[in-house]
Amino acid sequence: MRGPVRRFRALPLRSRLALLVAAAVAFAVTAAAVACWFVVKSVLVSSLDEALKANRMDGQQVSQYVNLRTGLCAHDPVTHEENPFGSSVQLVDRKGGSCLIIGTEEVPLTDADHAVAEGTSSDALHDATGSDGDQYRVFTYPVPNLQGVAVSAARPLGEVNSSLSNLALVLVFVAGAGVVGAGAAGLWVARTGLRPVDELTRAVEHVARTEDLTIRIPVEEDGEDEIARLSRSFNSMTSSLASSRDLQQQLIADAGHELRTPLTSLRTNIELLTRSEETGRPLPEADRRALLASVKAQMTELAALIGDLQELSRPDTGQHAGKAVIVAWHDVVDSALRRARLRGPELTLTADVRPWYVRAEPAALERAVVNILDNAVKFSPASGTVDVRLADGALTVRDHGPGIPADELPHVFDRFWRSPSARALPGSGLGLSIVARTVQQAGGEVSLTPAEGGGTTATVRLPGAPVPPPEVP
């Protein structure tokens, strides 16, 4: 059994569909043909029974063959040429005796026929085989006004069997033609219906062979079947993969560009220190300390850039969902404020922080808040003020710096994007990208807008509640 199943599964899909359609049609046609044959047989036999019942002999016709002294069959039987009933007729008495009165073929009688003669049965209807081997339909009935005698009329079933044989040949021919036609139709339907699947297969093979993600499968706009949905899903998948690959390539190119500057500067400073040692002409102590401070700052900048790249290299969704926990956002903001005050000791940071609990990744959320505050500290004028407020799930950080031009606002959350006026300042252009990513993963939204009177206001909104949810036991 497993062998045929394995061979069937090894066939192409269109061949399997054609075979399944042909098998289903064959089963249906065979069932219909068999049912039709039995229905026709029942109708023909019923018609024959009605004919036998319609040609009953009355008592006067039968009495001429009965002699009360000598018994049955007082005359010779009537031949078929003179037979007005179209059947062989026998007389049966209650003692089991019988004689042929019409026709030439004597059909064997059964107990049911004798029971009619005895008066214990009203009539009998059955099949019988004659001495010549032919099949007969036998109908036995009592004779009115003549007790102890019954008439048994028999008609050959050859006319019925001949019609059924012809019908069987027709049904076999029709069924065979139907199965062949169904197989051909199934193969055509399979080829037509699976044509989009073939196109999809060729497209997938093309992508696997050439890594070309620009290929698209044409889909009807109003198509809603499974093939159309599969084609749309494939097109959407290739578009997403192409976009992801472009973003990766862009990230690599931008990262290489950003890494080149600190690495070049770091290498230059180190080479200068090495050369001074090799030539035996050490640098002045002040210049040497300044050079080492520059190397330390460049290493710090390089480490921060690598950390930002690692943060952005994580998948956008799904992988870190399990690290999300209930976080006291106000505590995170307080911690970030302490770090921001160390980085801008000459600035005044005002804080109005109210309790708010959110579901997020603690480290990522604190990094996002720190990035927003660092941005405000970096662009604030000396002895300026940064206003921080957390209330009802909205964190606002307002600085009094130069602000962001309106034409630059759409780009502030892009990776490696830096305002022309800020390119001289330290930074990689990844801080706000990390903020946008973290806020999006936490189900919130972030925006930067010009503040009244100058400066910029950063707003972060996260879903949550002023009190922590109850712990689930």
pLDDT digits (tens, 9 = 90+) for 409-421: 776 777 655 555 5
Report which residue type is found at 44.
L
Last residue of a domain, one of 266, 295, 312: 312
pLDDT tier, 472 (very low <50, low <70, confident <90, very high otherwise): very low
Q: Is the pLDDT of residue 381 over 70?
A: yes
One domain, residues 267 and 344? no
One domain, residues 83 and 38? yes
Handedness of CA 196, 202, 204, 207 (dihedral sign): negative
Query: Residue 350: helix, strand or coil by DSSP?
Result: strand
Q: Is the pLDDT of residue 254 over 70?
A: no
Last residue of a domain, one of 312, 347, 367: 312
One domain, residues 173 and 294? no
One domain, residues 380 and 430? yes
Last residue of a domain, one of 265, 295, 312: 312
One domain, residues 42 and 159? yes
pLDDT at position 8 is: 56
220 Ramachandran zone, left/alpha/beta (phi>0; psi -120 to 50)? beta
One domain, residues 76 and 148? yes
Q: Supply the range of the domain harboring residue 66.
A: 12-193
Q: What is the mean pLDDT of the chain?
A: 77
The answer, as to whether pTM is greater than 0.85, is no
Decide if 301 is inside a domain: yes
Mean pLDDT within 132-157:
82
pLDDT at position 333 is: 92
Q: What is the CATH classification number for the domain harbouring 337?
A: 3.30.565.10
pLDDT at position 80 is: 46
Cα 435 off chain centre by: 37
pLDDT at position 394 is: 92
Decide if 238 is inside a domain: no
The number of distinct structural domains making up the chain is 3
Q: What is the CATH classification number for the domain harbouring 302?
A: 1.10.287
One domain, residues 270 and 362? no
pLDDT at position 320 is: 44
One domain, residues 304 and 345? no
Query: Residue 264: helix, strand or coil by DSSP?
Result: helix
Decide if 168 is inside a domain: yes
Q: How far is it, in rounded angstroms, from Cα 196 to Cα 218?
A: 9
Decide if 98 is inside a domain: yes
Q: Is the pLDDT of residue 75 over 60?
A: no
Q: How far is it, in rounded angstroms, from Cα 119 to Cα 192?
A: 72
Q: How far is it, in rounded angstroms, from Cα 438 to Cα 361?
A: 8
CB 76 within 8 A of CB 133: no
Decide if 232 is inside a domain: no
One domain, residues 45 and 168? yes
Q: List the single range of 39-48, 167-176, 199-208, 248-257 with lowest mean pLDDT.
A: 248-257
Decide if 207 is inside a domain: no
Contacts of 206 (CB under 8 A, 6+ apart): 212, 215
Buried b or exposed e, range 64-103, using 16+ CB within 10 angstroms: ebbeeeeebbeeebbeeeeeebebbbbbbbbeeebbbbbb
One domain, residues 41 and 22? yes
Decide if 385 is inside a domain: yes
Decide if 113 is inside a domain: yes
Q: Is the pLDDT of residue 119 over 90?
A: no
- pLDDT digit string, tens, across residues 145-203: 777 788 888 888 887 888 888 888 888 888 888 888 877 877 787 777 677 777 777 88
One domain, residues 336 and 385? yes
One domain, residues 372 and 273? no
The most confident of 6-20, 302-316, 344-358, by mean pLDDT: 344-358
